[in-house]
Structure 1
Amino acid sequence: MRSRPPLTPDPTSDDGAPLRGAALRCSRRHWLAGALRGAFAGATATALLPWLAAQPSPARAATDLPALGDGGELTLSEERRLGDQIARAIYRDPAYLDDAPLADHLNAIWQPLFAAARRRGELADELAERYAWRLLLARDRTVNAFALPGGYLGVHLGLIGVTGSADELASVLAHELSHVTQRHIARLISRQNQQAPLVLAAMILGALAASAARNADIASAAIAGGQALAVQSQLNFSRDMEREADRIGLAVLQAAGFDGQGFLGMFDRLQQSARLNDDGGFPYLRSHPLTTERIADMRARLPLAGAPADRTTPAVPVSATAHAFMAARARVLAEPAPDRLQAHVRAGRGGADAGRRYARALAAAWLRDVDEALAALETVRDAADDAAAGRAADALRLEVLWMLHGEARLPREQREALAPLAQRAAHDGGRAGLLLAAQAAGGLPPPVRDGIGQRLLAWCVAHPDDPGAWGTLARVQHAQGQPVRATRAEGEARLAQLDYAGALDRFRAAQRLAREQGLNDLQELSVLDARARHAETLLREQLAEAQRR
């Protein structure tokens, strides 16, 4: 996947349970607050508050606990639409980040968890097919992850940066996945619908105000009148959710081939970090209270689950060194200020571990320190002790050389190494290698650039919901002198980010360019027309849905 006075639950913590649940946790994450400040009077607020206020109050007793996976009143389609509204705001937030190496690493951990949940029957086929299942990365140093309605999951760079192993990161993703598979989002909203809807709206408003101002007192004032109606029942309900997510998440984690000790390792890491530096930078700890009961329950479950060697599931191919590289990358990208970059460079010299070596090379490139970056790259390659780490080291070398290619001090042999590095990355480096190669393609010879562009186009056709790939393709096609296709790729990127109005604008712009240039490619014109009509239909449906609310 921010001490409170006596008897006054903190609205940013799990003990202030009116805001518990993945559907509403997103609204108090400060990296999302920027998007919600602008969108609150628009799409996101329209999607959330009136929809909740309009729900009927069921007659079920407040003590009823829904069955596992029971979503209460919220249907799958409604939850997906709610998630789309929130995700649309996230994509527009400046803190949203599509970093290809980190996305590949997260996906290598996520896919085995997703597959294990399906094998175990935790994830129903209908949920698997109708939810988005997208991981959204945020440039934020706080230790945080959260689930959103409709299968969206958010991960902060700060969380990746503090994890010591892929097992620890996988434990967080498994926990958040279980919140989704058990439909905790819908269950929480249904539970809150049993309370006064206007009180719930005030609570959400309070959370947004606190998130925007980073002041819990604002939220306390906003929701003080409604807390007494809902606190205790919501508190008990959310703790049941957390226990459920722990239990199911552990089973999914181990079924996917990860070590269940990752849960305890992450618990210990969060507890220690919060004790040493409780400055509000650990919201995951607050939204997921690590009570002694939960930790003891996890310790008791691990021996019963069996050691990794006792299972038939093969080990997940996420190496320790590759994870150390990616955790270091997250730390650098989370705080790219010059003083922090210099600190990474100093820490990575000498006999530093693999992660610090990686951070040194990347930070030196950001500082445009050619000599330091080249020296650090050699140490990174020396630390790569397996195939996955080797690919990460090669991708870093390509990235660093491209960042430094305009520097006069970069040796000629390093410039000449760009083309073969890019070709190899495009063929063997997965999505991360392909996107990094495409980013460097503009400065490469036309045959190399065009070949990389063709491979990227094939990737986009096979993965139409990949906005980062479409955006990179648009830049490559502009460099190739193909403005119509580049503008269409910009439209596809907007469509993948659920920005239907922006997509329609780009498709129509491509149609105008085609007419101005006298383009006679009937296939391209037909595709443009179909995509414009598709975006127009989606936009019309979105506006109609907003009017129905």
Structure 2
Amino acid sequence: MQLIRDAEIENTIRIYATPLFQAAGLSPQGITLYLVKDRALNAFVAGGLNMFINTGLLIETKEPGEVIGVIAHETGHISGGHLARSGAALDQTYATLIATYLLGLGAALATGEAGVGAAVLSGGQDIALRGLLQYTRTQETSADQAAVNLLRATEQSPQGLMNFMESLSGQEVLLTNNQDPYLRTHPLTQDRIDFLRQAMRESPYANKPPDPELVVLHNRMRAKLIGFLEPLNQVLRQYPLSDTNLPARYARAIAYYRVPDIDKALAEIDALLAEQPDDPYFRELKGQMLLEHGRVAEAVPEYQSAVLSLPDSSQIRLALARAQIALDSREMDRAALENLTVTLAREPSNAGAWRLSAIAYGRLGDQAMTALSLAESALARGKYVEARDRADHAAGLLPENTASWLRAQDLKNEAERRLKKQN
């Protein structure tokens, strides 16, 4: 399995999910969303407040209501406490599984890819997921009911969820290996389909069309995923040159960049920027194109423009910091540390950001903070012996009782605690 990161796609999913989480009485900030690079239709929750959504589901759904319906259903599993009832033995398995995903995520951020970064995880975990995420029919019915209630509370139609479930119903006759994982882990019955059809008849929002702004976001998200994940010939089949709509041009710009054909890629993205010069994701993409083709000095202003539009985006800040560090100047290293501080305030377990911090501090001659940053990175990657030793080294260099010295002590103690737990 692979996890991917992308600021625009994660923001779109957050926009879909936040009203549902709030309606369910859940803190949106308390739920972590993960994108799984997998063609299969699937979404699931695990380890408490962690929701995983396959790229295949995002690409194959034609309108936002389908994804929103699935998120509403998965939110029903969370609010219903279905995972908590799995028992203490499974709790530890979930914790281990999520920890491994988080490590994979840290590795993805350390790859240097600003847009879509990937971390390869053990294929054996897919087997574990199939075994652990076998929701009962009772839980599925309960989650459907919760989903319908959440959609009503947010004044949205259950049409999308019903369409998604009906698209899966035809797979029931297939052999298990040919079914989408969603069907294997979420038992589908005719009663559930009938319930959703009845919900459509009773909903005051049944015929409410999708929000046009969400349709725009959905089409951009699909185009971006297709551009990054499909070969050029497939992209051009889905988005031929005759298609001059924004999503088509966006997908082609990404596909050309991946070939790589940097001239065509820049021509496409520059045309989009001519129409929408303040779009942060277009700026981010152009910065990525330039950075990965060695044109670092040109990439930095593009990332800076993106940050000006989205100052709270930890991922775009991280990309800017990476480009600034690539320029290899003391001024840029200091600027990179400012951006990394913002990233790490939001993602304190981001191993890649800590690694970049160590590089910047090292160049600036701050050995203590270099050691402390490397200790943070090691802990985030699960390298507990390294984390303990580097934290101990940092503590010896830092003034006692300062915030950084206390953090070094905490890191050392946490690394030792985890080592004992492993043994």
Shorter chain as denominator, the TM-score bin is 0.7 to 0.9
Give the alignment of 1:31-110 within 5 angstroms.
31=1, 95-110=2-17
Give the alignment of 1:92-241 within 5 angstroms.
95-118=2-25, 123=26, 133-189=31-87, 212=124, 238-241=136-139
Q: Does 1:376 align with 2:268?
A: yes
Structure 2 counterpart of 1:156, one-letter code? N
Note the C-alpha offset of 1:478: 5.6
Please point out which of 216, 231, 236 is paired with 1:321: 216
Greater RCO structure (CA 8 Å; 6+ sep): 1
In structure 1, the residue matched to 2:94 is none
Q: Does 1:538 align with 2:378?
A: no
Separation in 1, partners of 2:343, 2:52: 24
Q: Does 1:439 align with 2:332?
A: no
User: How many pairs are equivalent?
Assistant: 385
Note the C-alpha offset of 1:422: 1.7
In structure 2, the residue matched to 1:522 is 399
Q: 1:397 is paired with a residue of what secondary structure?
A: helix
Indicate how the Cα distance of structure 1 residues 115 and 148 shifts in structure 2: closer, same or farther if over 3 A, else same.
same
> Can you list the C-alpha shifts for 1:344-371, whole angstroms capped at 9, x where unaligned?
2564342335434322212221222112
Residue segments in structure 2 that go unaligned for 5+ positions in a row: 91-122
In structure 2, the residue matched to 1:420 is 301
| 2:351 and 2:378 in contact (8 A); partners too | yes
Q: Does 1:361 align with 2:238?
A: no
Note the C-alpha offset of 1:451: 3.2
Give the alignment of 1:334-413 within 5 angstroms.
334=229, 340-345=231-236, 347-352=238-243, 353-378=245-270, 380-381=272-273, 390-406=279-295
| 1:168 and 1:262 in contact (8 A); partners too | yes
Note the C-alpha offset of 1:452: 4.7
Larger radius of gyration: 1
Indicate how the Cα distance of structure 1 residues 147 and 98 shifts in structure 2: closer, same or farther if over 3 A, else same.
same
| 1:325 and 1:392 in contact (8 A); partners too | no
Separation in 1, partners of 2:89, 2:200: 31
Identity of aligned residues (%): 24
Q: Does 1:260 align with 2:181?
A: no
Separation in 2, partners of 1:495, 1:191: 25
In structure 2, the residue matched to 1:457 is 341
| 2:58 and 2:67 in contact (8 A); partners too | yes
Note the C-alpha offset of 1:144: 1.6
Q: Which moved more, 1:369-378 or 1:264-273?
A: 264-273
In structure 2, the residue matched to 1:295 is 193
Indicate how the Cα distance of structure 1 residues 442 and 346 shifts in structure 2: closer, same or farther if over 3 A, else same.
farther
Note the C-alpha offset of 1:378: 4.1
> Can you list the C-alpha shifts for 1:125-164, whole angstroms capped at 9, x where unaligned?
xxx69x9632233232222211112212222222222222
Q: 1:110 is paired with a residue of what secondary structure?
A: helix
Note the C-alpha offset of 1:243: 0.9
Structure 1 counterpart of 2:235, one-letter code? H
Indicate how the Cα distance of structure 1 residues 434 and 190 shifts in structure 2: closer, same or farther if over 3 A, else same.
closer
Separation in 1, partners of 2:171, 2:264: 31
Q: 1:184 is paired with a residue of what secondary structure?
A: coil
Structure 1 counterpart of 2:321, one-letter code? A
Q: Which moved more, 1:144-153 or 1:417-426?
A: 417-426
* Cα RMSD, aligned residues only: 4.4
In structure 1, the residue matched to 2:102 is none
Residue segments in structure 1 that go unaligned for 5+ positions in a row: 1-30, 32-94, 193-210, 224-233, 407-414
Structure 1 counterpart of 2:261, one-letter code? D
In structure 2, the residue matched to 1:53 is none
| 2:152 and 2:205 in contact (8 A); partners too | no
Indicate how the Cα distance of structure 1 residues 254 and 440 shifts in structure 2: closer, same or farther if over 3 A, else same.
farther
Q: Which moved more, 1:358-367 or 1:317-326?
A: 317-326
Structure 1 counterpart of 2:341, one-letter code? L
| 1:157 and 1:334 in contact (8 A); partners too | no
Give the alignment of 1:468-479 within 5 angstroms.
469-470=353-354, 473-474=357-358, 477=361
TM-score by length of 2: 0.73
Indicate how the Cα distance of structure 1 residues 242 and 104 shifts in structure 2: closer, same or farther if over 3 A, else same.
same
Structure 2 counterpart of 1:456, one-letter code? L
Separation in 1, partners of 2:89, 2:173: 33
